[in-house]
Structure 1
Amino acid sequence: MFGSDHPGSQPDYWKQGDSSTTLIRTKKGVVVSLRVDIQSARPHNMVHYGLQGTEGAYLGPRFDGEDPLIWLRNEGSYTSGNDPKWDSLWHHKTKWDHPDWRAWEKEALHTGHGGGDFFIIREFVSAILEDRKPAIDVYDAVTWSSVFALSLQSVSNCGSPVEFVDFYGKN
């Protein structure tokens, strides 16, 4: 693209792999494992997420037609032998669906990212029209975006921990 003289045309210029795993330890001692894979040759999947805590877990679908799965400690997600089991998220739809999703599902499903784009844009426009702070502000956005740069910094320092920048200036 830039020609054979550009540094990016050299084989050793690009050091990243197909995927990256970042470990984040919060101030409260919670460890977050974040895996990003946007380069590998496998099929792309925008909704395959996992979230795990001590009282429950979520596992997004791996392919079209597969249900998202949940395990909830206090919601009967056990076999008769008291072994934990995954349950379809859709079995809990009436209890856990957000009121906004109930109201806007048909419209949202015609937008990107499984309907998520609809709600992000709706929130942004509502915040402007109502002259209020948005649910996700510029400080949240820059903090979330900084994970990439901080990960690169950590990798270049042999995996050493890197402090998050406090963009709010509260510390």
Structure 2
Amino acid sequence: MTIEVRPATEFDDVRTMVGPKRPDAESCWCLSYRVPGKVNRELHREARGEYVRELMQQGPPGVLAYEGDEVVGWAAIHPRADTSFATNRKIPHVDDLDVWSLWCVRVRPGHRGQGIAHHLIEDAVEYARSQGAPAVEAYPVDNDGAKVDLTMAYVGTRALFERAGFAKAADTDSVLNRFPRVLMRLSLS
């Protein structure tokens, strides 16, 4: 299996990874942290996908993993200043660097357990580096090896990010699926 990760420039592939199965269904579209809360709450159904299409005109909203021509994974990464992490009261800022946030890692069913999440994180970091990011932050759960519900696994685990070279930079006041989230950081300088 050869996995290629590249910036997310194909809307249909982004839709495959984060859009709903039915166009009229509610779905995250990975906007929950990407846009201000008020905007996120006002967007429904097809409007969410159209908003993502508009965001993509400003640049890739993340990276996609491919096995051949098939999209098999997604990671959302963007400058923290343009995300809700910029003002999130539960996730601290450890300094004033213009860091990038990596907040969602998804692998399609049937492709999990093959190391694709590792490729996504590694190449998301490289994409951020190529855009001048001084560091990348992630906000995974600290689950101490316990099973994480698949609907909440998108944030990743502390161990996953440690294997990618990230180190714990701070505790947070955020909890997901009963697990505390930690702020992990990888310096790129």
The alignment's TM-score, normalised by the length of structure 2, stands at 0.25
**Quick check: which has more Rg, 1 or 2?**
1
Greater relative CO, 1 or 2 (CA 8 Å, sep 6+): 2
